[in-house]
Amino acid sequence: MEQASERPDIIFVSFDEPNADAHFERLKSFEPSAKRVHGVRGIYAAYQAVAETATTSHFYMVDADSWVLDDFSFAIPDEASLADIKMWSARNAVNGLRWFNGGLKLLSRRAVLSMNPGSIDFFSSMAGERVLSGEIATETRFNATPFLAWRAGFRECAKLTGKVVRFRDAGEHLNIWQTQGADKLNGAWCMLGARMGANYGLKNPAGHSLLKINDMRWLYDVFEDARKSNAIATILAEIAGG
């Protein structure tokens, strides 16, 4: 642990999210000095860019699809010391799950620098003491476009069935991703991505092929192939129709 002697920087990280500007303005209404890292390609590279931007030993990292909830405060931590990794729960805008996927993070620079660039789940590869908060800090609004909604469902469910992420309620989460939220914005696309990702993870459990879920260009190609498929169009219609 490092001593909590300074106010952590708050850093917003964005790439291709159409609601990023609005979400950044929302964040600045909580903390006008919030910084932004934009346009860095690749998850690992984006984390490293955030660490390089930070001027404090610990920093809040806010994803571009995060909408900060009204009652959350970026107060200076009261603890005498800080864990290397702290994460808050987020409310899923499509299926209502309350979990750490897409949640607000308070990280130490050394934790980010310890990340394994060859890991399937970069966050899990960080070294250091972890604290998970049940407080819901944000709503993760990843569903602004069909592709972004599909991508979120695909990646999360591939990690679940591929056994990259393990926790007690994983089976329940997997079911909810695949069956809930058709009435939400791009919800059917999210559910389709979840079903395709679950199938992909089952076929590629924690193997080299599962690394592809971090390749955004590959994901987009898979999405485009699905979008153009008549069979997929039929499945989408069934999902949307309940």
Scanning 138-215, the segments in alpha helix (DSSP H) are 146-161, 170-179, 187-203
Find the mean pLDDT for residues 51-76: 95
| pLDDT tens for each residue of 135-186 | 999 999 999 999 999 999 999 999 999 988 777 888 999 999 999 999 999 9
159 CB-near residues (< 8 Å, 6+ apart): 120, 121, 165, 201, 210, 213
Q: Which of 121, 140, 159 is the last residue of a domain?
A: 140
Residue length of the chain: 242
Domain count along the chain: 2
Q: Which of 110, 140, 170 is the last residue of a domain?
A: 140
Same domain (yes/no): 10, 116: yes
Report whether pLDDT(128) > 70.
yes
Number of helices (H) and strands (E) in the chain: give both, helices first.
8, 10
Tell me what the pLDDT averaged over the chain comes to.
91
Same domain (yes/no): 124, 159: no
Same domain (yes/no): 212, 118: no
Q: Please state, in angstroms and rounded to a whole number, the distance separating the CA atoms of residues 61 and 51.
A: 9
The answer to whether 101 and 141 have CB atoms below 8 angstroms apart is no
**CATH number of the domain that 45 lies in?**
3.90.550.10
Report whether pLDDT(1) > 50.
no
Same domain (yes/no): 114, 154: no
Who has greater pLDDT, 163 or 96? 96
Structural domain boundaries, residue 160 = 146-240
Phi–psi pair at 186, nearest 5 degrees: 55, 25
